[in-house]
Each structure stands twice: as structure tokens, then as C-alpha cells.
Amino acid sequence: MDRIHVRGGNPLNGHIPISGAKNSALKLMAAALLTDEPVTLSRMPDLADTRFLSQLLQHLGADVERGEGTLRIHVGDLAGTEAPYDLVRKMRASFNVLGPILARAGKARVSLPGGCAIGARPVDLHLKALKALGAAIEVEDGYVVASAPNGLKGGIVDFPFVSVGATEHAMLAATLAKGETVLKNTACEPEIADLADCLNKMGARVSGAGTSTIVINGVDRLAGCEHPVVADRIEAGTYALAAASAGGDVTLEGAEQGHNEALWSAMASAGVEVTAVEGGMRIRRNGTPIKPVDIVTEPYPGFATDLQAQFMALMALAKGECTIRETIFENRFMHAPELARMGADITVRGSTALVNGVDKLTGAQVMATDLRASVCLIIAGLAARGETVVNRVYHLDRGFEHLERKLAACGADVERRSD
């Protein structure tokens, strides 16, 4: 099994190109099911998750061609309307093929997704949205069986709380529904706007994406298109926090200032120099002490839950105490005990972690428990004394493209080994 070895103490200096956003790419891939014409996605990250979804799309009849940074998907005819458990269980986002298959074929049978290490992430809001569009929904033997023999119809979906996945799923299904669909209390993430941009290029009529209300006027059919995946704000934030923790001067090429305002503000409060430059963001910290900063994870534009673990790694070295409160997912402090193995002083009380900064971290054997926890431990290793060995790094491959290569290019002593 692969492990990543990090020998800390080297500042990071140089440029890191930011890949396309995994969280957007997966939904754009699902959108290709809505048309019988090719959809070509550029700035496409090559990740375990995008490869998993490619396998599912091929099972459904898609011709999938990967190029250098591109992915071409052509679903001329659906080979079937069932997404089996063995393919869906590998990744929760696979469940989002349900809406497009239903909208295009009038029926779908899709396995419920598997569990998640960071909490129970139910799909009830997804099903509520499809029912509001006229779908008949049954759950049989672990599968969602949906039908709309006369096509989906526009409706009003008022989400009881903000859900990125449910918002995206409803958008996908509503593009081919008859009439107008109004989605209320929707997620506002940049990935939502990116999906809307792609759907509109395909001929959809989506407005309001990026706000709390999205209006979709259904069309009879969608066409193919070419679309660049939006830059990955989580990857950008992760490398920003790596540079802040290890010290140095790094430019994040392609990072969008407006997509991470909550993070940039918190980092500036911590004493890190964060500057927007042409084509990206510049992160600098050369010897200045890290100040403690309290954060609370919130839906966008608040502090992203997907950056909470990485920020904790930075705060582990702060001069003082801070609190980190997680409001999005339960069980998302599993990285705290692993950071403690490296010398961090962290006390978890329910949904709040108290972080008392220490003078130094020390390399150790640690175990990744999920995607963001994995990279949190890499960040800690970059700042620690000695060698850190991160086990179970298959989590990393789900969300970070060429991580070791990008860090090594900036001076990090990091390598992957099959021990």
C-alpha cells in the first residue's frame, strides 16, 4: 500500500498550478447524460473520483475519451437506466446520475450510495426535489426506483436547509422538465454557477445560479458543448495553507480571489500575507509568528468545511489558543488525534475543537481517515521536524492531482513509496 513520506523544514517557494475543481467536474460529467451529443470538458482533473464516474458513465453507454487535461463524453444512446451498487458505492457523487437518466429516459434505477466517514449524508433532499418535479419514487432493495413516463414537470422546490448536492441534482433534472422550476434556499458555491454555465452552453435556460434562488425553464433537448472546469478553490486553499504552515512564497496559478474570501480573511488574521496577483493568488510567510484565529464552518460564502482540517494544521503552530467549530458534518475531527501524534495540543468537545498552539510539531507515523484529513497531515508534515509517514493515502488520490509533484516543485521533500 502506498505511503507518503514528508521530511519537514523546507519552506515552499515557487508556483503551483491549480487544477479544475473535482466537486464541479463530477456534476459536469453527469450533465453529459442529458444529451446525445458530445460534451468536452477541459481543465479536467485526473483523479480516482473522476475515473470512478467515467466507469459508471461507460456502463450507461457513454463513449469516454481522456486527453491531456480534457475529457470527452458522448452518450449517443443510453445502454440502460440502472446504476448498480458496485459502481455507485465507490463514490457518493455517482448518485447524481439519477436525475439526468430520469429526465432523459423517463425512468431510472440507481443504487443508494454507501456510507461516508465524515458523517451521514442522506439523499432525502435529492428525492424531495425529484418528487416535486413529478417523479414517482420508490426505494427497493437498496435502490431508488424513479419514474416519470410522461416526462418531468416544472415545480417549486424549497430546500429546508442548504445542500450543494441536492441543488446540483435538481438543476440537472429540471433542465429537461416541462415548464418552469424554482429552486429556493439553494447552495451558492462557485461550482453551482459553473454547472449552470455549462448547462446554458448546452441550451438550458438556468438563471440565478450563485444566489439562493435558481430559476430553470425546461427545454425539449440539450446539445453538446465545450466547457472548462472552474478552478478548484479547495485545492487552492489547501496549497495556500501548506505555504503558510511551512513558510515561504508561493503563487497559486489560476486561483480565484473571490472563491475563498473567508479563508483569505482568516489567513490574513493569522499573520499570513495574502495578495491577489495577475492570474492567481500569492501566499507569503517568512518567519512571522502564526496568530490564533477562531473559525466556524458554514455554507458558502462562509468558511468551507473542506478546508477545516487543513486550517487546523496551521493553527496547531499558532501562538495561543483558538476554537474551530464544525457545523456541516459530524465526525469531521478524526484528523485531530493524528495531529496529536505529531505533538499538537487539540481537545475535541462535540462539534468544537480547542487548539492550543505548540512551538513545534514532530514527524510521526499517521493515518489518513478521509480526503481532507489526508492532506491536513501532509501540511503538518511539511512544518514538522523530522519525517512524517502518512498511511492510507488512497484518500488523497480522490481529490488531489499530482500533489507530490506540485509540492516538490516548490522545494518540499516529499515522495510516495510503495513500502
- Binding site annotation covers 23? yes
Q: Could you give the CA distance from residue 235 to residue 122 in angstroms, rounded to a whole number?
A: 25
92 annotated as a binding-site residue: yes
At residue 46's C-alpha, the angle toward residues 51 and 406, to 5°, is 150
Ligand-binding annotation for 328, yes or no, is yes
Please tell me whether 389 is known to bind a ligand.
Answer: no
Q: Tell me whether residue 27 is annotated as binding.
A: no
417 labeled part of a ligand binding site: no
Q: State the catalytic residue, choosing from 116, 198, 376, 410.
A: 116
Cell readout for 295 is 473559525
77 is in an annotated binding site: no
d(CA 368, CA 385): 19
Answer yes or no: is 314 a known binding residue: no
Binding residue per annotation — 4? no
Active site residue 116: yes
CA 91 – CA 112 distance, rounded (Å): 11
Q: How does 168-188 read in b/e, with b if 16+ C-beta sit within 10 Å? A: bbbbbbbbbbbeebbbeebbb
Q: Is 200 marked as a binding-site residue?
A: no
- Residue ranges for the known binding site for UDP-N-acetyl-alpha-D-glucosamine are 92, 121-125, 306, 328
Binding-site positions for phosphoenolpyruvate read 22-23
Catalytic residues: 116
Question: Residues forming the annotated binding site?
Answer: 22-23, 92, 121-125, 306, 328
